[in-house]
Amino acid sequence: ADHVTAAGVSALVLAARHGHRELIELLIKAGTSHAGELLMRTAASAQMDVLLALVKAGGGMIDVDVLGSALLTAAAHGQRSAVSVLVNAGASVFKQDASGLSPLMLASGNGHVDTVRALIKASAPVNAPGGPGANTPLSLAARNGRADVVA
């Protein structure tokens, strides 16, 4: 399940590139150690079919911390659909990155209105301070000139 090409590309990544959902599920169930890496990549992209296959096949096998990190990535890139899938799979809206920023702070600061709405709907804390300067999601949006988020 953990075989890689001479270039270092895992079988799971190759299956994802070519949209082989069944193979993705088989590799995860076989215990590949590359699921977290691929989850992070797909959270930032629009590869919803791959993300759904990873989450479905991963069940309880994908670490909750990895799900949270993928949620941070999806929020920062404005991937609203990925945010919803990850939250439904158990990713915590309270997870923070290394600088103390939450998914809502990342989405707000980058002006991703639809992603902000999805996170608020998922009960992300709207007034919780974090990150350098103890900002809130609203203060980050305002500081970055994201009037559409502030409105």
| pLDDT score for 1 | 63
Q: What mean pLDDT is predicted for residues 88-100?
A: 88
pLDDT higher for 17 or 81?
81
pLDDT over 90 percentage in the chain: 25
| pLDDT score for 65 | 65
CATH number 1.25.40.20 is the correct assignment for the domain at 63-151: yes
pLDDT higher for 51 or 113?
113
pLDDT higher for 22 or 104?
104
As a whole number, the mean pLDDT across the chain is 83
CATH 1.25.40.20 domain extents, the chain: 63-151
Secondary-structure percent of the chain, ordered helix, strand, coil, rounded to 5: 55, 5, 40
91 - beta bridge partners? Answer: none
| pLDDT score for 138 | 83
The residues, any chain, with a CB within 8 Å of residue 64's CB and separated by 6 or more, are: 90, 91, 92
Instruction: Quote the CA–CA distance of 29 and 143 in Å, as a whole number.
Output: 45
pLDDT in tens, 32-82: 777 777 787 788 887 788 888 888 776 555 666 667 788 999 999 999 999
| pLDDT score for 63 | 60
